[in-house]
Amino acid sequence: MLQPTPPAPDAIAFPGDEALRATFLAWQDTLARERRMAANTVEAYGRDLRQFLAHRQARHGLPDIPGLIALKPRDVRAFMAARRAEEIGGRSLMRALAGIRSFARHLEREGHGTVAALGAVRAPKVERRLPRPLPIAAARAMTGTELRAGENREPWVLARDAAVLALLYGSGLRISEALGLTRRDAPVPGVDAVTVTGKGGKMRMVPVLPVVAEAVAAYLAACPHALPPEGPLFVGTRGGPLSPRIIQYAVATLRGALGLPESATPHALRHSFATHLLGRRGELRAIQELLGHASLSTTQLYTKVDSARLMEAFNAAHPRAGTQASRRARDSAERSPAG
C-alpha cells in the first residue's frame, strides 16, 4: 500500500526560498511513494530538515539550494552542537543527520551538485539499547480478553484488540504490519501463514499459530461492520481503519492491570516473541527472517538480552552470587560473541 504524501509545509513558515521548498516537497514525495518509507519516518525527516534550515536561516539568511551545496563541515557540526545543547539525544541527532543526508542525495540525483561537507561529518555514537521483553505469563495475558472483561467496552472491541496483540506476540509482527492486513488476508483457522509488508515495502511470510488464528476468528465473528475483501482487517468503532493509538491505549490499560513498567508497549510483544523463541533454542537466522530484519546484527541484540537475563537469574539464585565466581561468570557472558 502506498504511503500518503505528507502535507505540504506552510509556504510562509518554510525556512527556504521557493525553489528549495519545491525540492523539499519532491523529496518527501519520493520518500513516501518510491522508497515507501513509513509516514512517521517521512514526517520526522522533514521536521529535522526544516530545523536545520531554520538554524541556517537564523545565521545566514534565507537558505537556498546553492547555499546547501556549498555547505562546510563546520556548518553541519554547528547545527548538531546546537541541538545537543538543547539536550537532544544521540538517537535523534543521528536521525537528523540521516534526514539531511537523504535530502543531499536527492539534490545530487536532481543534478544540483554534491553536498561534499556531509562526507566529513561523523554520525554521533549511540549505544544500542537492548530490547525489553515481557515475562511469558504477562505476554500471554495481554493477548486475551479476560483482564479487560470489566471495562465498559463492546465485546467485539476487546476481541479485536486481543487479536491484534496475539499477532504481535504470536507472529512477531510490527503494529503497522498487523494493522496493514486486509480482510482477504485474515489469518483464520486453516491458514498457517500470512504475508505481511514490512519496512521499505519488503514482504515476508510469517507463521500463524492456531491460537492466533482463533483470536482473529473470534474478532471476525463478533465484528459488527462489513469488511470488504480489500479493506482493512482491523477497524475502529465506526468501521474505518484502526489507529495504532487505540492499541497503544489498550496496552497501557493492560500494563496497569499487570503492574508492568512503561517499557511494556505493543512493540515489546514483538521483542518478547523473539526473546522467548531464542530462549527455547530458536535458530538466530530463522528469527531474523521471521522478524524481517535486514541485518543479522539487529537480531543479535536478543542474544544479549538472553545473556543478561541468565546473569540476573544466576546472581539471584546462586549461593556464591556476588563473589569472585559470579564476577568471572558475568565477565565471560559479556565477552561472548553476539551471534
Task: Kindly list the catalytic residues.
Answer: 174, 199, 267, 270, 293, 302
DSSP 194: E
C-alpha cell of residue 40: 512517521
Q: Is 193 helix (H, G, I), strand (E, B) or coil?
A: strand
**Helix or strand holding residue 60 (H, E):** helix 39-60
Can you spell out the DSSP letters for 218-240?
HHHHH--S---TTSBSSB-TTSS
Can you spell out the DSSP letters for 103-123?
HHHHHHHTTS---GGGGG-PP
Q: What's the rounded Cα separation, in Å, for the pair 208 and 307?
A: 28
Q: What's the rounded Cα separation, in Å, for the pair 32 and 42?
A: 7
Classify burial at 204, counting beta carbons within 10 Å of its beta carbon; exposed 0-12, middle 13-18, buried 19 or more. Answer: middle
The candidate with the shortest Cα–Cα distance to 257, out of 135, 131, 146, is 146
C-alpha cell of residue 270: 514483538
